[in-house]
Amino acid sequence: MTSRSPTPGAAALILAALSTLGLLVVLPLAMVFHEAFRQGLGAYLAALAEPDAWSAMRLTLLVAAISVPLNAVFGLAAAWTIAKFEFPGRSLLVTLIDLPFSISPVVSGLVWVLLFGVNGWLGPLIQELGVRVIFNVTGVVLATVLVTLPFVARELIPLMEQQGADEEIAAITLGAGPWTTFFRVTLPNVKWGLLYGVLLCNARAMGEFGAVSVVSGHIRGLTNTLPLHVEILYNEYDFVGAFAVATVLAALALVTLALKSALEWRHAGELAAVRRH
């Protein structure tokens, strides 16, 4: 593309697009930081130093540390199955893996209550066993795992389909074992795509609100994740506190976007060409 000064029509279009994005996307982001620092740096830091904020941070990290690796393994297994083999029901499987994306986060939380809540199918059973799922960290993890289920798989499936199976077939034919082939041929080929999927999966896992809100019970210091803590503080009219915690999540979003863009620019050839969000 040549860089010449745009025609008046083009300039108007660029201006319209930029003001849309500025108004719709940049302004809310700026507002988060503006509100957080409304009463100065001291109040901001004090809000972040609250023990409840710290325990919310710890829980958010814990939940992501459990759910992201699980869904990464699932994504690798699903992509290996779907991209390297042909079998009946293959496209149905792809549709099913994508489905959690079209379901309301609240429904993704609701289904766990229907299973494990006091009136749930398995509620009496787990009560006898002395296990709690709902209003407990376990429920928060389950809801997060469901919401983030497709992220790694939907990045790896098109990528592995694109790459085909020739390299793996060559490795196997030359006598490499199955795990050697996977770790020395497949994994290096998809590493950037895997990282990309993990990145998006992690952002959603740490930021999920609706699904987690249904199962958590909002017990401060115990089952409160960062996004839920934002809600509690906001509803208590502690706006500086709510926005201070929100800056942590906004920073996470910005870091995610920066890393994602870096991957897209530097390793575009090693990511899936066809990607749907």
Partner 1 sequence: MTPSLALARAPRARRSWRKASVLPGFPLALGVTLTWLSLIFLIPLSALILRPWELGPAGIWAVVTDPRVLAALRISFGSAALAALVNAGLGLLIAWVLVRHPFPGRRLVDALVDLPFALPTAVAGIALTAIYAPNGPLGQPLSALGIQVAYTPLGIILALIFVGLPFVVRTVQPVLEDLSKDVEEAALTLGATPPQTAWRVVMPAVAPALLTGVGLAFARAAGEYGSVIFIAGNMPLRSEIAPLLIVIKLEQFDYAGAAAVGLAMLVLSFTGLLILNSVQGVLASRGRA
First to last CA, the chain: 27
By CB under 8 A, residue 27 contacts partner 1: yes
Closer residue to partner 1 (CB): 57 or 252: 252
- State which of residues 46, 48, 107, 263 lies at the interface with partner 1 (CB under 8 A): 107
Burial class (CB in 10 A: 0-12, 13-18, 19+), 122: middle
Q: Which helix (H) or strand (E) holds 122?
A: none
On the CB side of 51, CA atoms within 13 Å amount to 3
Q: Which of residues 132-151 bind partner 1 (CB under 8 A)?
A: 142, 145-146, 149
CB of residue 117 to partner 1, shortest distance in Å: 7
By CB under 8 A, residue 102 contacts partner 1: yes
CB of residue 63 to partner 1, shortest distance in Å: 13
By CB under 8 A, residue 219 contacts partner 1: no
Q: Which of residues 250-269 bind partner 1 (CB under 8 A)?
A: 250, 252-254, 256-258, 260-261, 265
- State which of residues 66, 137, 249, 271 lies at the interface with partner 1 (CB under 8 A): 249
By CB under 8 A, residue 114 contacts partner 1: yes
Here the tokens at position 262 are 């870096």
The answer to whether residues 32 and 245 touch, using CB atoms and an 8 Å cutoff, is no
Integer Cα distance of 110 and 210 in angstroms: 10
Q: What residues have CB less than 8 Å from 28, skipping those under 6 apart?
A: none
Q: Which of residues 153-212 bind partner 1 (CB under 8 A)?
A: 165, 168-169, 172-173, 178, 181-182, 200, 203, 206-210
By CB under 8 A, residue 49 contacts partner 1: no
Residues binding partner 1: number (CB under 8 A) = 102
Nearest-CA neighbor of 253 among 191, 210, 206? Answer: 206
